[in-house]
Amino acid sequence: MNILITEEQFKRIYLNSLEGFKSAMDNYHEYGIFYHGTSNPKISELILPPIETKTISEKGRKKNLDKVFFTKSYKSAQIYAGRAFNSYGGNKRVLPIIPIGKVEIVNSNKGSEVFMADYAIVINENEPIEKQIIEYFKTKLNSNHLFPKP
């Protein structure tokens, strides 16, 4: 018997899978910390793409609605937070993040590089990053296949 699931359900399963965990760890080791600028007060631990939140923070954005955007530059993220604030209000926020999924470059201009991936975990730069990634996936898993109990 084949069970059909939606793309959204598949992505949710992916977030809670070993692949998602490995992807986040690999991205952290390869790229380090990225930044996401926003004015959305609801973002706390995970940044979801507009196709899932039904919220677009960039006016006129018509493509890559299944991706989240981020930058290596804190200053650039501040600019994006300002744009979101000007469009939607709230408070300007720059969130340190680790992407989940393949990291793709959208703009390669030095100093204003923009990247995208499927999702991003919000982290605290003052705490061990790998530990935060482990804890995120550990608390999100519905089963114990990744972190079995002794």
Is 113 inside any structural domain?
A: yes
Residue 91's domain comprises 18-140
Q: Report the DSSP beta bridge partners of residue 120.
A: 47, 99
The DSSP code for 60 is: T
What is the overall mean pLDDT for the chain?
83
Is 148 inside any structural domain?
A: no
Is 1 inside any structural domain?
A: no
CATH number, residue 26: 3.20.170
Is 147 inside any structural domain?
A: no
pLDDT in tens, 5-41: 566 766 666 666 778 889 999 999 999 999 999 998 8
Is 34 inside any structural domain?
A: yes
The two structure tokens encoding residue 32:
């380090």
Q: Is the pLDDT of residue 132 over 50?
A: yes
Is 4 inside any structural domain?
A: no
Is 53 inside any structural domain?
A: yes
Q: What's the domain count of the chain? A: 1
The residue written with tokens 């393949």 in the block is 102
Provide the pLDDT confidence category of residue 103 given band limits of 50, 70 and 90: very high
Global pTM reads 0.81
Which secondary structure element, helix H or strand E, spans residue 23, and what is its range? Answer: helix 18-31
Is 126 inside any structural domain?
A: yes
How far apart are the two ends of the chain, measured CA to CA in Å?
A: 34
Query: What's the pLDDT at 9?
Result: 62
Q: Is the pLDDT of residue 97 over 90?
A: yes
Q: For residues 8, 3, 24 and 77, what is the CA-based torsion angle, rounded to 10 degrees?
A: -10
Q: What is the sign, positive or negative, of the torsion defined by CA atoms of 36, 42, 45, 46?
A: negative
Q: Give the integer Cα–Cα distance in Å for 17 and 11.
A: 10
